[in-house]
Amino acid sequence: MGVVVAALEYRQDKWYEVTGIVLEGKLYRLRIRRLTPRECFRLQGFPDWAYERAESVSSKSQLYKQAGNSVTVTVIEAIAREFRRTEEEEKHEPTT
């Protein structure tokens, strides 16, 4: 029995979803499809209403650019928490 796998692949400035099956240690690709602008927005953590608002005033290529140029909020929050934790630890360390 094979194992179905899915991954994201970046080629020629475009993201694709790659789906395949692994049989006896070899990957066989089943299909490749380009991610939709909505999926790109979702991967960056945007709610659908934000995508729909952008879609109403932007071309498809602009939507891809907007998603690609955005920063994932949850990642930035995690980085900021780590900075704060490190800063607090340094405040409480004895100075020599």
Residue 16 pairs with which residues in a beta bridge? Answer: 9, 34
Tens-binned pLDDT, residue by residue, of the chain (96 aa)? 556 566 667 777 777 666 677 777 776 666 666 789 998 999 898 999 999 999 999 999 999 999 989 988 888 999 999 999 999 888 887 776
- Spatial separation of the C-alpha atoms in residues 37 and 53, rounded to whole Å: 13
Domains of the chain, residue spans? 1-35, 36-96
Q: Residue 15 is inside which H or E element, if any?
A: strand 14-23
Contact call for residues 18 and 29 (beta carbons, < 8 A): yes
